[in-house]
Chains A and B, each alone.
Chain A
Amino acid sequence: MALTRNNLKTSALLAVLVLVAPASGLAASAKENFEWYCVQCHGSDGTGKGINSVKELPVGPMDLSNPKEMKKFTGEQIIQTLTRGGPVNTLDSLMPPWGNRLAKDEIKALMQYVRSLCKGTDCPK
């Protein structure tokens, strides 16, 4: 009896997991969000060579793989920039605000993803 009940419990749990899994699969990974929203300017490797990187713009999209640039910002500052756009950290407004489009946890995950694009030995963590 007990075993069967446990089994029932387990299968109920499994069923819940199966039901929940596709729903949580709807939330995008940071890489997927980066590819959809950020690559248009920063390029897929983050070096700033997206298709919107044209010479008439006030600045180039920042090279996110460059440790010198990336050391200038704490994780918290990056989250601010991503939410409200460049000007909150005295950067150009070409870096748009995403806080109305993306959820807080998506933005936090993007910050961590941006950190992972940095190339070199002196990258901030």
Chain B
Amino acid sequence: MIAFKKGPLLKWWGAVLVLGCVHAPLAAAGPAQGKQLFEAKNCGACHQMSGPVEAVPVAQRSKIKGPPLWFAGSKFKNEWLIAWLEKPTALYRVKYGTLEQGANSHPALSKADAQEVGAYLMSLTDPALKAGAVTAEKLNRRKMLEAEKLFTKKQVCFGCHQYASKQGDIGGFSGPSLVGAGNRLQADWVHALLKDNVRYYPNARMPVYGNQAFEAFTDEELKLLSQYIGNL
């Protein structure tokens, strides 16, 4: 408090200290440091960090440089995320935002930084998403086949997403690969995405299957489909 009277520089630092003190109890050390790193490395230049993100006109969408991350903590599995930040592998099968086939290269973080940034990203959850709608349990063989039909026949999800079928990895290229999606995605988030993907991806090329003009799936089917993706 006394510091405030001693001159502009001290005042400044005083303010920083006060801010730091206010923020510290809200977030554990990991997320706060991770946020600083995230900003220092300018990750926000390509990722939208506050949401829900607004829709922009289709003609301007190719300027978006990376997927939004404001709901990262609801979407990703912690271990996958930290490992990926250290050693990113291409998820999309197109140059991001285009229809040109290819892989995106991505900046990598050191192991320590990946842990901090991972903790920060995992702290960003969607407050509107209710956890527990879909179980992460393994599906038995019969249920797996039933769910695969939803994915390949009722709607042809693999028209835009690669997935691991019995014949190997097959599918279209415009969406991110779902090979190994079970290690990466939380089933509850997949369920919310399939119901209303405009909330998460207002600017995507993906159709909306959920509950507006009509429903392409019943909610039971959506839950099974989400659990299936959690098993991929």
Contacts of B69 in A (CB 8 A): none
Instruction: Please state if B213 and A56 are interface contacts (CB–CB under 8 Å).
Output: no
Q: How far is the CB of B103 from chain A (nearest CB, A)?
A: 14
Does B172 contact A96, Cβ atoms closer than 8 Å?
no
B99 touches which of A26, A50, A58, A94 (Cβ 8 Å): A50
List the one stretch of A4-12, A13-21, A27-35, A113-121 in contact with chain B: A27-35
A57 CB contacts on chain B under 8 angstroms? 156, 158-159, 172
The answer, among B58, B205, B208, for a CB contact under 8 Å with A32, is: B58
Q: Are A40 and B99 in contact, with the CB atoms below 8 A? A: yes
A contact residues around B47 at 8 Å (CB): none
Looking at chain B's contact residues, the main secondary structure is loop
Instruction: Kindly identify, within residues 105 to 159 of chain B, every residue whose CB is under 8 Å from any CB belonging to chain A.
Output: 153-156, 158-159
Query: Which of A27, A83, A93 has the most C-beta atoms of chain B within 10 angstroms of its own C-beta?
Result: A93
What number of A-B contacts does a CB cutoff of 8 Å give?
A: 88
Assembly CA distance A25 to B56 (angstroms): 11
Known: A32-B57, A41-B159, A94-B159. A100 touches B172 (CB 8 A): no
Task: Given A52-B172, A54-B170, A100-B212, verify A36-B101 contact (CB < 8 Å).
Answer: no
Q: Which residue of chain B is the closest to A52 with respect to CB atoms?
A: B172
State whether the Cβ of A85 lies closer than 8 Å to any Cβ in chain B. Answer: yes
Q: Of B61, B154, B171, which contacts A56 at CB under 8 A?
A: B171
Closest to A44 in B: B99
- Asked whether A32 lies within 8 Å of B172 as measured between CB atoms, the reply is no
- For B216, the chain A residues whose CB sits under 8 A away are 85, 97
- Could you tell me the dominant secondary structure of chain A's interface residues? loop
A39: chain B residues at CB < 8 Å are 99
Q: Are B172 and A40 in contact (CB under 8 A)?
A: yes
Contacts of B213 in A (CB 8 A): 83, 99-100
CA distance A41 to B174 in the complex (A): 9
Q: How far is the CA of A26 from the CA of B99 in the complex (A)?
A: 22
Nearest to B152 among chain A residues (CB) is A58
Docked-complex contact B58 and A96, CB < 8 angstroms? no
Give bound CA distance, A28 to B203, whole Å: 13
Instruction: Flag whether A51 is at the interface (Cβ < 8 A).
Output: yes
Q: How far is it, in angstroms, between the C-alpha of A51 and the C-alpha of B173 when the chains are bound?
A: 6
Contact A58 B57 (CB under 8 A): no
Besides A40-B160, A100-B209, 7 other CB < 8 A contacts? A28-B58, A33-B58, A36-B58, A56-B167, A57-B158, A96-B155, A101-B198
Minimum-distance CB pairs A-B, first 5: A52-B172, A100-B208, A36-B58, A99-B213, A40-B174
Residues of A within 8 A of B (CB): 25-28, 32-33, 35-37, 39-41, 50-54, 56-58, 83-85, 92-94, 96-101
- Residue ranges of B at the interface with A (Cβ–Cβ < 8 Å): 57-59, 61, 94, 99, 101, 153-156, 158-160, 165, 167, 170-174, 198, 205, 207-210, 212-214, 216
For this complex, 30 residue pairs linking A to B, each with C-beta atoms less than 8 Å apart, are A26-B57, A27-B57, A28-B57, A28-B58, A32-B59, A36-B61, A40-B99, A41-B172, A51-B101, A51-B172, A51-B174, A54-B170, A57-B158, A57-B172, A58-B156, A83-B214, A84-B214, A85-B207, A93-B153, A93-B156, A94-B156, A94-B159, A96-B156, A96-B159, A96-B207, A97-B207, A99-B214, A100-B214, A101-B198, A101-B207
